[in-house]
Structure 1
Amino acid sequence: MPGMDAVLLREGLAGRYARVDVVEITGSTNADLREAVVAGAADRTVLIAEQQTAGVGRRARSWSSPKGAGLYLSVALRPSGVAFSALGSLSVVAGLAVRSVASELGVDAVLKWPNDVLAGPDRAKCAGILAEAVAGPEPSVVLGIGLNVLPLGENVPAGPGGLPATSLAEQGAVDPDRTGVALALLTRFDDLERRWRLAGGDLTEAGLLADYRAHCATLGQDVRVELPDGASLTGRAADIDPAGQLQVDVEDGRRLTVFAGDVVHVRPA
């Protein structure tokens, strides 16, 4: 499989990102950029790896990152003017960017709250997103995106709730060239993130909340939400609030706001 074209990426993304690096192998691009942010890395620094040996998703789960098969990237952001509490909504921004690019490649893709992109008629997982705040004197966040581009092989584990994995190529992508996909994705993310930043991290003001609601397959589904403390709740996924959080209608008539958790789609509504 051909490697990523770092020169083409730098030229195509000039003026949008401060720095774009492509490395052959690393443990985790998110971990590398967290260290870089602490050391003073510039806003809008991008790191892409051909392979990760310790890629991670939410709640420290591993993310399968076979060499040359996917797009494994992280972006370091210092969004001045955005409150720390709004940084988590960057996952919404990234999800919209991934879904948009998948659609441009002819892939039927939808969003699953909080950080997955599903593709194909069976709604298998083709991308995961991880936003990690970095402590410091100014709001900083490292946003990681793992996107399966080329066929995965047979040994990729299922996600929470038994969600199978898939790739853009397996779902009929027109031209799944990884450099081209990276260029399109980072360009689209730049456009959306600038809107989000200009709005102070407010998804509604940025015009992104309605778009997310329109493409979120979780809404209207009966769901089971596994909460970080080990508890769970079941109900109907009713809405996404302006902070990007899930609102669930439970059996006793209450509408609960879920800030974090793993969502399993129990069955279509």
Structure 2
Amino acid sequence: MAELDAARLRYGLGERYARIEVVETTGSTNADLREALLAGAADRTVLLAEQQTAGVGRRARSWVSPKGGLYLSIALRPAGVAFAALGSLSVVAGLAVYELATDLGVDAALKWPNDVLAGPRRAKCAGILAEAVGNGESAVVLGIGLNVAPLGDDIPAGPGGLPATSLAEQGAATTDRTDVALGLLTRFDDLERRWRAAGGDLTEAGLLSDYRAKCATLGQDVQVQLPDGSTLTGRAADLDRTGQLQVDVPDGRRLTVYAGDVVHVRPA
């Protein structure tokens, strides 16, 4: 598989990003850009790695990052966006990956809060992690891991036994990772500018309705594994205006979930 072409990325993306760097290997692109932001890195700095040795997903889980995938992080300083709204960038990134996948001919769907599923089995094709950086202003690192090449047999399943898949395994029109990165970063740039112009308000930006329409979680019976170790069971009913999941529980209440692992409960 061809290496990522940094020169073609910079040329194709033009002035959309302040800096684009490709490295052969690193521990975690998110960790690298967190440090870079604290050291004064510019808004819209992008780092891509051929592979990560210590990739991290939500709740500090390891993200398997072998060669053949697309592993990138974007450092953002969205002036005018409240700190509390930074987490909604996961919605923006999810939409960008969804648009990319469908444009490549892949049957895709979104899984709240930060996964992109693909194929008839709705296997995990991409994961997203937004991490706020505390340096006195609104700053965030957004990481995206996207499976591109065929996967080996040793990729572990996600929470609830969610299997993994890749663009190649789902018949994508191209698996040239430079082309895939160009498409993803272009779509993210367009959507993030809409989000930023709306002050981080997903509804005002017109993004929340798009996410709802593409979210496979809504309408599903779900088990939500909460950060405190407890489990919430119910029907995923809606998203609030900040993109948080609302679950109808058996006693008739509608509860808002701000963080947790969601397992779609499939019929036996």
Alpha-carbon distance between aligned partners in 1 of 2:231 and 2:82, rounded to the nearest angstrom: 29
Residues 3-58 of structure 1 deviation map (CA, whole Å, 9 limit, x = unaligned): 00100001111210000000000000000000000000000000000000000100
Alpha-carbon distance between aligned partners in 2 of 1:109 and 1:250, rounded to the nearest angstrom: 28
Shift of residue 136, structure 1, vs aligned partner: 1.2
Could you say which residue in structure 2 is the equivalent of 1:48? Answer: 48
Could you say which residue in structure 2 is the equivalent of 1:239? Answer: 238
What are the residue-to-residue correspondences of 1:176-215 with 2, within 5 Å?
Answer: 176-215=175-214
In structure 1, what residue type is equivalent to 2:74? V
Could you say which residue in structure 2 is the equivalent of 1:88? Answer: 87
TM-score by length of 1: 0.98
**Contact map agreement 2:13 2:186 (CA 8 A) in 1:** yes
Alpha-carbon distance between aligned partners in 2 of 1:170 and 1:267, rounded to the nearest angstrom: 23
SS in 2 for 1:267: coil
SS in 2 for 1:89: helix
Residues 197-248 of structure 1 deviation map (CA, whole Å, 9 limit, x = unaligned): 0000000000000000000000000000000011111000000111010000
Alpha-carbon distance between aligned partners in 1 of 2:266 and 2:65, rounded to the nearest angstrom: 29
Could you say which residue in structure 2 is the equivalent of 1:60? Answer: 60
TM-score by length of 2: 0.99
Extract structure 1 runs of 4+ deviating beyond 4 A: none
Q: Percent identity?
A: 81
Could you say which residue in structure 1 is the equivalent of 2:35? Answer: 35
What are the residue-to-residue correspondences of 1:1-269 with 2, within 5 Å?
Answer: 1-67=1-67, 69-267=68-266
Alpha-carbon distance between aligned partners in 2 of 1:260 and 1:11, rounded to the nearest angstrom: 38
SS in 1 for 2:265: strand
SS in 2 for 1:63: coil
Alpha-carbon distance between aligned partners in 2 of 1:109 and 1:266, rounded to the nearest angstrom: 19
Shift of residue 175, structure 1, vs aligned partner: 1.1
In structure 2, what residue type is equivalent to 1:121? P
Q: What CA RMSD, in Å, does the superposition of the two structures yield over aligned residues?
A: 0.6
Residues 46-86 of structure 1 deviation map (CA, whole Å, 9 limit, x = unaligned): 0000000000100000111101x110000000001000000
Alpha-carbon distance between aligned partners in 1 of 2:124 and 2:6, rounded to the nearest angstrom: 27
In structure 2, what residue type is equivalent to 1:53? T
Q: How many residues align?
A: 267
Alpha-carbon distance between aligned partners in 2 of 1:56 and 1:14, rounded to the nearest angstrom: 29
Alpha-carbon distance between aligned partners in 2 of 1:94 and 1:174, rounded to the nearest angstrom: 21
In structure 1, what residue type is equivalent to 2:24? E
Alpha-carbon distance between aligned partners in 2 of 1:188 and 1:71, rounded to the nearest angstrom: 15
Residues 78-133 of structure 1 deviation map (CA, whole Å, 9 limit, x = unaligned): 00100000000000000000000000000000000000000000000000000000
**Contact map agreement 2:2 2:176 (CA 8 A) in 1:** no
In structure 2, what residue type is equivalent to 1:239? D
Shift of residue 141, structure 1, vs aligned partner: 0.2
**Contact map agreement 2:132 2:140 (CA 8 A) in 1:** yes
Gaps of 5+ in 1: none
Alpha-carbon distance between aligned partners in 2 of 1:175 and 1:29, rounded to the nearest angstrom: 24
Alpha-carbon distance between aligned partners in 2 of 1:15 and 1:138, rounded to the nearest angstrom: 24
Alpha-carbon distance between aligned partners in 2 of 1:258 and 1:228, rounded to the nearest angstrom: 10
Residues 162-219 of structure 1 deviation map (CA, whole Å, 9 limit, x = unaligned): 0000000000101111000000000000000000000000000000000000000000
Shift of residue 267, structure 1, vs aligned partner: 2.3
Alpha-carbon distance between aligned partners in 2 of 1:137 and 1:85, rounded to the nearest angstrom: 14
SS in 1 for 2:144: strand
**Contact map agreement 2:50 2:71 (CA 8 A) in 1:** yes
